[in-house]
Structure formats: C-alpha cells, structure tokens
Amino acid sequence: MSAILVYVETKDDQPKKASLEALGAASRLGGDVVALLYGRHARAAAAKLTGSGAAKALAVEDAQRTHFSPEAVVAALAAAAATLAPRAIFFAATSQGRDLAPRLAEKLGCAQASDCTELRSSGDGKVEARRPVLAGKAYTWIRAKNSTLVATLRPNVFAEAKSGGAPAVESMPAPAADLKSIVKEIVASASGKLDVSEAPVVVSGGRGLKEASNWKVLEDLAAAFGGRAALGASRAVVDAGWRPHAEQVGQTGKTVAPQLYFAVGISGAIQHLAGMRTAKTIVAINKDPEAPIFKVADYGIVGDALEVVPALTAAIKKAIG
C-alpha cells in the first residue's frame, strides 16, 4: 500500500493541532505516513512529531524566502508526491489548507475531497472520504478513479495519534517555483485569542442576548474553560454590529466542530446549523422551547440566557476548577 503524504502546518516551530489530527487520521488508515513541513522552522517543528503517526518527515527549510508563498509550498508537495506516488495527500481544512490543496490537486490532475468528516480505506487500498454538501444537509462519499486523492480534513473531527515513535526527519531542498503570490504580512487580531474554528469549546451567542453589552456573560462562561474556549456568534448579531465577522459561525461564517458548543439565544436557523452541526456535544439555552436549535442540541435548557448562563458559569467553574 502506498504512503499517505500529509502537509503539516507550523506556527513558529510548533506543528498545528489540525495538522496533527490529519496525521492521526492518515495513520489509522494504514500504511506509511509521510509529513511535509515547509518554512524556516521546518526541522525544529518536525522534531516535535514524535507520536504523531508520521513515519517520516520531510523538512523543507527555505532560508531565502522570508515570506510565505502558496506556489512554493505546492511545488515542494508536488516534488514529494512525484517520488512517493502517495495514495492520498491530506491537508487540514484551514485557511492555508483550503488555498493549497486545490492548487496541488490541479497541478497533479487529482480529484479532491474538501472538508472531510470521515475517511476509510477500500479493499483495494483506495482512500474514500465522506464530506458534507449543501451546508451539511447531505453527505457524499467520494474517491479518486485513478489518481491520488487530495483531501482537506475538517479540524477537531479526527483524533491525533498520540502513540508511536519519532519520524525519521529528512531535509528536502525547496524546488524552484514560479512564485506568483506572496504573503506580505499577517496582522494578528487584537485579541490574540484562540480562533473560533480551532477552539475545542465554543460559546456562541445570538439575538437572544438582547444587546452587545450582555456578551460579558458569555465571555465569563468562555473564561471558565481557561483558554480552551472561543466566542462565536450568529449572523444576526454580526450584521447588527455587536460582534465581528471573524466570530460568525455558519454558512457564511466559519465551520466549527468543537468538542462542546454552546448556542445561547440562537434560534438554530439552517444556515447557522451548517456551521456547527458536527460539534460533538451541543448545548442550547433558549427561552423558546420550540426553537429549532433544540432539535440538534444534545442538551437544552429552556430559560432566560441572562439568568441561566451566569449560574452555568459558576457551576462549571466549580466542576472543573
């Protein structure tokens, strides 16, 4: 069985969690897993892949290029794919993965499955992927006819491997590439907090919170999780200017799949569900017992958010504190 190549994103010298999940998913499918890391800290980050499921790590340390360029990474991945002839190439479905994967798929003439939520290996060793379509209203299973399958994997859905040894780290020269797009700068958001698409716990609020200043109660609930929670929002409150668009969850916002999702004062419109229905556990707090959100929630409390949430925050602090 041929290998699975996984592009591992790094932040400074740390491999990103969503990429570790992709390595975990690849290792469970069987066969060799080869990680490719790109950038100034590629080797240092590769040294942190012990127990990630990767048997080998290709570190492309590119000292000349100070700015990130998608074409450069795609060229390196294409070169690695040419020698490995992998059965699949995985990316995390992050802003980087969403950009790189289709470029590579097109360059290699491959099929791509985007934002996959389940994977399996067929009898003949082909990787098959299940992915949502129509904003999660339906799913398809797809695979490639003859080519490698390129796939992006939804963050927080797949478990990390967390076992096994250290990969053999090899340096790989950066292949020549026609760089057309250069990332000039990355402006970190003022908060510097965990992004809603990456957080294991998401506390989302909607119009039921009544006004922007009431977000204090949601901030307190998020804080009870000690840095593991991020704030989310419905489109109604983003449109009202209460919250920034970066926090919007749903079809025209971000897709999240946290371990725990709180929907507070959110009715549960189909477009909102599109962004959060694959969360592992959903808690809804809404004063209307008929609100559609209760149909997808695992647990619901009917009540006024401004009364229930502070009590919940106190109880959670006590439980995990």
Partner 1 sequence: MKIAVCMKRVPATDTKVKPGAGRPWIDSTGVEYVLNPYDEFAIEEALRLKEARGGAGEVVVVCVGSADAQKELRTALAMGADRAILLEDAQAELRDAQEIAGALAAAVQELGSELVLLGKTGVDRDQSQTGQRVATRLGWGCAIECAKIAIDGSAIRAEREIEGGREVLELSLPAVLSCEKGLNEPRYAGLKGIMAAKKKPLETKAPQYAAAQVEVLSFEMPPERSGGRIVGSGVDAVAELVRLLQQEAKVL
Ligand X SMILES: Cc1cc2nc3c(=O)[nH]c(=O)nc-3n(C[C@H](O)[C@H](O)[C@H](O)COP(=O)(O)OP(=O)(O)OC[C@H]3O[C@@H](n4cnc5c(N)ncnc54)[C@H](O)[C@@H]3O)c2cc1C
Asked if 61 is part of the footprint of partner 1 (rule: CB under 8 A), the reply reads no
Q: How far is residue 196's CA from residue 232's CA, in Å, rounded to a whole number?
A: 6
- Per-residue binding string, partner 1, 62-91, x by CB under 8 A, is --------x---------------------
Our finding on whether 236 is near partner 1 (CB under 8 A) is: no
Q: Which stretch binds partner 1 (CB under 8 A): 29-37, 44-52, 215-223, 312-320?
A: 312-320
78-to-86, 117, 243 alpha-carbon distances in Å: 11, 25, 40
- Residue 205 Ramachandran class (φ > 0 left, ψ -120 to 50 alpha, else beta): beta
Q: Which of 105, 127, 249, 256 binds partner 1 (CB under 8 A)?
A: 105
| Binding of partner 1 by 297 (CB under 8 A) | yes
Interaction partner, residue 178 (ligand X, partner 1, none; CB < 5-8 Å by kind):
partner 1
Point out which residues pair with 83 in neighbouring strands: none
From the list partner 1, ligand X, none, pick the one residue 160 interacts with, judged by a Cβ distance below 5 to 8 Å according to partner type: none
Q: Tell me if 145 sits within 8 A of 181, measured CB to CB.
A: no
The interface region with partner 1, picked from 20-28, 55-63, 159-167, 273-281 by CB under 8 A, is 273-281
Distance CA 116, CA 78 (A): 21
The b/e string for 19-37 (b: 16+ C-beta within 10 A; e otherwise) is bbbbbbbbbebebbbbbbb
What residues pair up with 230 in beta bridges, in sequence order? 202
| Cβ distance to partner 1 smaller for residue 5 or 312 | 312
Point out which residues bind ligand X (CB under 6 A).
206-208, 234-237, 248-253, 265-267, 269, 271-272, 275, 285-288, 291, 304-305
How far apart are CB 23 and partner 1 at their closest, in Å? 19
Residue 166 vs 308, nearer CB to partner 1: 308
Q: How far is CA 12 from CA 16, 34, 173, 189, in A?
A: 10, 20, 19, 17
Least Cα distance to 42 among 21, 16, 14, 77 occurs for 14
Question: Tokens representing 74?
Answer: 């795609």
With CB under 8 A as the contact rule, the residue among 176, 189, 213, 241 that binds partner 1 is 189
Give the chain's length.
Answer: 321
Residue 138, interface with partner 1 (CB under 8 A)?
Answer: yes
Site membership for partner 1, residue 182 (CB under 8 A): yes
> How far is Cα 62 from Cα 175, in angstroms, rounded to an integer?
10
Q: Which is nearer to partner 1, 176 or 180 (CB)?
A: 180
User: 39 touches which of ligand X, partner 1, none (CB within 5 to 8 A by kind)?
Assistant: none
What count of other Cβ atoms lies within 10 Å of the Cβ of residue 258? 27
Whole-number minimum distance, CB 247 to partner 1, in Å? 11
Partners of residue 264 on adjacent β-strands = 205, 285
- Kindly write out the interface string for residues 244-263 of this chain, putting x where it contacts partner 1 by CB under 8 A and - elsewhere: -xx----xx------xx---
Report in angstroms how near the CB of residue 310 gets to ligand X at its nearest.
12
Using the minimum distance from each CB to partner 1, give the nearer residue, 13 or 99.
Answer: 99
8 A C-beta contact, residue 81 and residue 148: yes
